[in-house]
Amino acid sequence: MPLRSITALVALSAVSAGSATAQQAGGFSYGLMGYASDSAYVGDGSGPRVWPLLRYESPTFSIGTDGLRLTLADRAPVRIEGVMSPRFTGLSDPDAPELAGIDRDITADVGVTLRYSLGTGTALTATVLQEVTGQHDGQEVRLGGQARLGAGPVPLTFGAGVSWKSEELTNYLYGVGADETASGRPAYTPGDSLTPYISISGGMPVGQNMAVIGGMRADFLDDAATDSPIVEGDVAVSGRVGVVFQF
């Protein structure tokens, strides 16, 4: 399961589920998301799959398949949140023969997000994350923005940003260790990486407690990733559609 696909998926579930069912304040939400994408990894094709969505949200706290968020400070237009989130990667028990002998664990990150609101549905965000499960001790810094267009029956949210990943995290995602080499797969140790992205998502309420959500995202991999012998292509595109219920 590709890292960027899961990242996009949980981000969409967090944003779209909340915005599409904004008629209710907080509470539980659940649903299913179907997605399909290409994969950064050689031989790791990714056809349509289904992922469960589950979330509880209050004005200051949320927990679900996208992780945990806790409001630390909220003084408009600035909000600061503590976050904890899982990090999935397509190298976790991969099926592709080309990736045989490589296996990465699912890890967890803890950090802080600063959000600066520019108006309804429009904001700038900065997130700093530190891996805490002892697998690579890497860091990630995300800078981005999103803008919602409310025209029409399906409001759309456009996003763009960039993710900096430390050398340790980049190596965990795209590196090849000395004990993982194989024919046509030499050892590879990348430095840090910078990955810009663009996205679009939306949600359409269906009644008071149900919404259809979906979106697309493109990540633009830099040389630290694309030079890896286990990576092919330099642009990753994923698409998602699902149904979410709130009560």
Cβ neighbours around 15 below 10 Å, total: 22
Domains of the chain: 3-246 (2.40.160.40)
- Structure tokens belonging to residue 240: 């998602």
Positive or negative, the Cα torsion across 115, 117, 121, 124?
A: negative
pLDDT digits (tens, 9 = 90+) for 6-58: 333 444 444 443 433 333 446 899 999 998 877 788 887 666 778 888 999 99
For residue 185, give every residue at least 6 positions away whose Cβ sits within 8 Å of its Cβ, in sequence order, or none: 98, 176, 229, 230
Q: What is the pLDDT of residues 183-212, one digit of tens each?
A: 999 999 999 999 999 999 998 888 888 999
Q: What pTM value is reported for the model?
A: 0.84
Residues 161, 11: Cα–Cα separation, whole Å:
13
**pLDDT single digits (tens) 69-86:** 999 999 999 999 999 999
**Residue 213 has which token pair?**
């959500």
Which element (helix H / strand E) includes 12? helix 3-20
Beta bridge partners of 211: 205, 244
Q: How many angstroms separate the most distant Cα atoms in the chain?
A: 57
